[in-house]
Amino acid sequence: MNYSHVHIILNHFPTIGTLLGVVLYVYALWKKNQDLQIVSFITFLVLAMIAIPTVITGAAADLAVSERPGVNLAMVELHRDGAITAFTVLMLTGTFSWLALWQVRRFRTPSPWTVWTVLGLGVITLALLMQTGTLGGEISHPEIRAEGAPEVTAPPAGQEGLALALELWAVDVTWAWPVCETLHFTGMTFLFGVTFLVNFRLLGMLRGVPFSAIHRLLPLGILGFGVTMTTGLLMFNGNIPRYVVVPTFFLKMLFAVVAGMSVLYVTIFDDTWALGQGDGTAPRHKIFAVTTTLFWLGAMYFGRMIPFLE
């Protein structure tokens, strides 16, 4: 099994999942059912996390397809452009969905602007994912293209698409890579700082601090996660062949995605929210804290080892 196989498995989840999520969310708004809204928010957040390995394996698959004879390279680039755009909007949908969940936990209900922002982003994401999926299918299955449709050709020099423009920016602009690395590690500092603070409390330390106080810091950790992922994917897009040959790179991203999903446990469940000042923690809290810490340390270790393993 290679990256292309993994991409074929994963690429259905964002599109079909977003369709189901949007339908459920519209129904929840119509019925004014907050429980169903929460399920929709969780769905969008999980799909955003799944989209990370999907776009990474997709870039590797596009690289492999481009080496096949007779493949329209312009269509490959068009698919990459659509994937980056759809991925960006899906990540925004997942971010605002998480913010809504955080608001539900703190204030019992999400703010109206968050509710309608998630709906708007979800609809846009669905449209972009359907278009991207169609473009991807047409690369290997030209028979599904509309009869008489004009052949897709590469744009003139200087008018390249988004994916190639970002790739050239990361390579040709001398300050681009150092800035991305600086922001990458800065975001990681915020992310790890909040994560370790949460985990210290769940391990039974900091008993004088109620968990609700630490819960206020979660948006700072999510901001760090967003900055880390954004800059990391910019660097990945700038040199895809370098990263796809490193056997542990996908393992690093898998660790980061699983650890990222774990934020749901400390965001919305009463199990951690109920920890008051002076309260001890149960074995399940300690297991969660140790596991997530190991996942984040694993992601950091394999990321740091990329220059030595490539």
The amino acid that residue 94 corresponds to is G
- CA distance readout (Å), 1 to 4, 6, 8, 226: 8, 7, 11, 30
Query: How many whole angstroms separate alpha carbon 193 and alpha carbon 221?
Result: 8
The per-residue pLDDT for 135 is 76
Residue 21 pLDDT exceeds 60: yes
Phi-psi region of 251 (alpha: psi -120 to 50; beta: other; left: phi over 0): alpha
Band the pLDDT of 110: cuts 50, 70, 90: very high
pLDDT given for residue 131 in this prediction: 86
So what's the pLDDT on residue 245?
A: 76
pLDDT higher than threshold 90 for residue 238:
no
Domains of the chain, by residue range, sit at 1-154, 167-310
Per the model's pLDDT, the better-predicted residue between 243 and 212 turns out to be 212
Q: Give pLDDT tens digits for 120-161.
A: 999 999 999 988 887 777 666 665 555 655 555 555 455 557
CA 114/CA 99 separation, integer angstroms: 8
pLDDT for 310:
65
- Percentage of the chain surpassing pLDDT 90? 44
| Residue that is written with structure tokens 């660790």 in the block | 255
**pLDDT tens-digit readout, 298-307:** 888 888 887 7
Mean pLDDT of 16-40: 95
User: Which pLDDT belongs to residue 221?
Assistant: 92
Assess whether pLDDT exceeds 80 at residue 31: yes
User: pLDDT tens-digit profile of 55-74?
Assistant: 888 877 777 776 666 666 67
